[in-house]
Amino acid sequence: MGTQDIKQIDMTWDLESIFPGGSESKKFTQYRAAIKVDLEAIKAEIERLPKQLDDTNCGDWAAFIVKLQKLLSRIHHASAFTSCLVSQDVKDVKAHQISGEIDVFISQLKNIMVSLEAFAKAQTDDQWERLLADERLIEVQFSLNETRQIAQMKMNPEYEALATELAVNGYHAWNRLYDKVYGDLRVEFDEYGKLRELSIGQLAIKMADADRTIRRQAQVKLEEAWERVAEWMAMVLNYQAGFRLTLYDRRNWKSALVEPVINARMKEETLTAMWRAVERGVPKLRAYIDAKKRLLGIDQFKWYDQFAPVGQVDRKISFAEAGDFIIDLMKDMDANQAQFARMALDNRWVEAEDRPGKAGGGYCTTLTEAGQSRIFMTYGNTFAEVATLAHELGHAYHHDVLKDKPPFAQDYPMNLAETASIFNELLIFDGALGKAKSRDEKLMMLDQKLQNAFTLFCNLHARFIFDSQFYVERKNGLVAKARLDEIMTEAQKQAFGDILEGDDAYHPLFWVSKLHFFLTGQPFYNFPYTFGFLFATGIYNRARQEGPSFAQKYREILVDTGRMTCEEVAMKHLGVDLTKNDFWNGAVNAALADVDVFVNIAG
């Protein structure tokens, strides 16, 4: 890696080129006003269109669907920009107000989609096929067929429309409340005698500190902060789940997993096969953790030791170095992606500055109308953040590959959304390991790579187990905060096996500290990550076998994520059946292949 250091300003993203003036932007105000007008117009148009297809009106319906997609893209653009505003400054009151305004737009758009579902459901197969034959709809046939199939599983359209409207000020409002509480929480942190006020996002970085006293303090401070609001957040979680379960009951959906697997475009058999393979693989992680304990000089492995670094940890990696390192590794695998990443960094698509007032976590969002992405993270000069940057650049590349497709064909499920991001992580880890010159450096690289598998197999599985049990109990009434703590502890014991040691090894308040549990846009926001990790592992291994010639096939895989189910993508491009054990067992074994190498180097 080079020694160039990037200017501080370059670690903040460029939003001015999208809408100058931030939340006070006049241009953005006008943009939203135009959306409001066009929503009313398109709502009136769908009401006027004939409810039954025939040869005289197929063209009108095709034109309407094209227009609807354009409006969808504009609303997504506004929503993404607003998310950026809220993330960069959680105290931006105007941005939070705009976020509520966008929620109304999304609700109205969903109601229009409900009308489209009702229309699709009412057509005969022959009529429907005639509509889909229109050349303007060829590329979105999969999406429209999916819309029709899901419509057949839902309530009558008027009830679906009402539920969507009520969700704005009920269901989604709980998510907004959680976001506000998360953003406002602060703790006093003692770092070697110097007191600092930290946000929750900044505190999370401390959980990966080399000093165990810092990690332990971070865990204590995190629990103290969340304990202050845990009773309120238990109400939030319960009422969000209650809304979902009421809706599921009205749709006659017997399981809380129906919506998650629909959203993931996969079968429940695939999910079951994946978790079985993970459970079989977890015991192999014991040797990795035992070796890590020896390196760390600890007797018992606790929750706050999960992200403890080993090996060479004193070297700081500047943001500029991180970008150069990632791009150099990309060049050998896919020159197009390397050029794209260089452009994204040079044009300041990344918000990486470490400062108070930012939201926690990291993500990549798409400004659809600009054909651009923005990446949000907090960069801490460690290799872990290098991997995060590579991960998010993968998401941005995925968006870029699809940006010229119709909006419906750009919509891919979260689990397939992880394909490009985790592919990049694997590339970075292997590349870094190949360049490592010392034992300590190799240990650090291997640890980071295995830590990913450990997190996705144990930590993410614990979240899935928690969600599953919580929804079972929520059907019978409100679940108290104390019981939520118990469910979480039980889930961690099941998922981690004997890896976490001692009565104080667990994190009972993890359910409240992890924002993923409170996202209303995606129930069971956990298994898609593990799916994506294992699916990307299979693709990455294929890419290593085939070399640079795989780059074109890789782009084709990414394109197909917007127009196929998970099982169809896997069968077409990899020739594997995801409902069977073979692929998942192979992917788990590949992910754990470095355990023995790590143990041997660790001595």
8 pLDDT higher than 50? no
**Per-residue confidence at 157, pLDDT binned at 50, 70, 90?**
confident
Instruction: List strand residue ranges (DSSP E) for 410-464, in order.
Output: none
**Would you state the pLDDT for residue 533?**
94
Residue with tokens 């096996």: 497
Residue 2 confidence (pLDDT): 42
Question: What's the confidence (pLDDT) of residue 433?
Answer: 84
Which pLDDT tens digit goes with each residue over 353-372?
988 888 878 899 999 999 99
Pick the CATH number of 238-312+429-603 from 1.10.490.10, 1.10.1370.20, 3.10.180.10, 1.10.1370.30: 1.10.1370.20
Q: pLDDT class for 6, splitting at 50, 70, 90?
A: very low
Average pLDDT over residues 172-200: 90
Half-sphere exposure of 168 (CA within 13 A, CB side): 17
Average pLDDT, the chain: 93
Regarding the domain delimited by 13-169, which CATH topology (the fold level of the hierarchy) does it fall under? Answer: Butyryl-CoA Dehydrogenase, subunit A; domain 3 (1.20.140)
Q: Using alpha carbons, list the distances in angstroms from residue 585 to 44, 149, 523, 537, 599.
A: 52, 31, 26, 12, 22
> What's the average model confidence in pLDDT over 406-429?
93
- Please give the Cα distance from 45 to 68 (Å, whole number): 10
User: What CA–CA distance (Å, rounded) separates 287 from 170?
Assistant: 47
The most confident of 48-57, 382-391, 482-491, 516-525, by mean pLDDT:
482-491
Structure tokens at 376: 């949000």
pLDDT tens-digit profile of 308-317?
A: 988 875 578 8
For position 313, what pLDDT does the model report?
A: 55
Residues 6+ apart with CB under 8 A from 485: 508, 509, 511
Query: Would the pLDDT of 391 be above 90?
Result: yes
Digit-coded pLDDT (tens) for 487-537: 999 999 999 999 999 999 999 999 999 999 999 988 999 999 999 999 999
> What share of the chain has pLDDT > 70, as a percent?
98
Q: Provide CB contacts within 8 A for 175, sequence distance 6+.
A: 240, 518, 519, 520, 521
Provide the terminal-to-terminal Cα distance of the chain, rounded to the nearest Å: 28
Amino acid at 569: V
State whether residue 192 is helix, strand or coil: coil
pLDDT digits (tens, 9 = 90+) for 90-145: 899 999 999 999 989 998 998 899 899 999 999 999 999 999 999 999 999 999 99
| Partners of 373 in the β-ladder | 366
Q: What is the dihedral of CA 392, 396, 398, 399, to 10 degrees?
A: 140
Classified as helix, coil or strand, 350 is: strand
- Answer whether 524's CB lies under 8 Å from 257's CB: yes
From CA 425, how far away is CA 310, in angstroms rounded? 19
Note the pTM of the prediction, 2 decimals: 0.86
Residue by residue, what is the 3-state secondary structure of 255-303? CCCHHHHHHCCCCHHHHHHHHHHHHHHHHHHHHHHHHHHHHHCCCCCCH
The type of residue at 360 is G
Weakest-pLDDT range from 320-324, 438-442, 450-454: 438-442
Sequence spans of domains, the chain: 13-169, 186-228, 238-312+429-603
Cα atoms found within 13 Å of the Cα of residue 327, Cβ hemisphere only: 18
CATH topology (fold) of 186-228: Helix Hairpins (1.10.287)
Sequence-distant (6+) residues with CB within 8 A of 542 are 550, 574
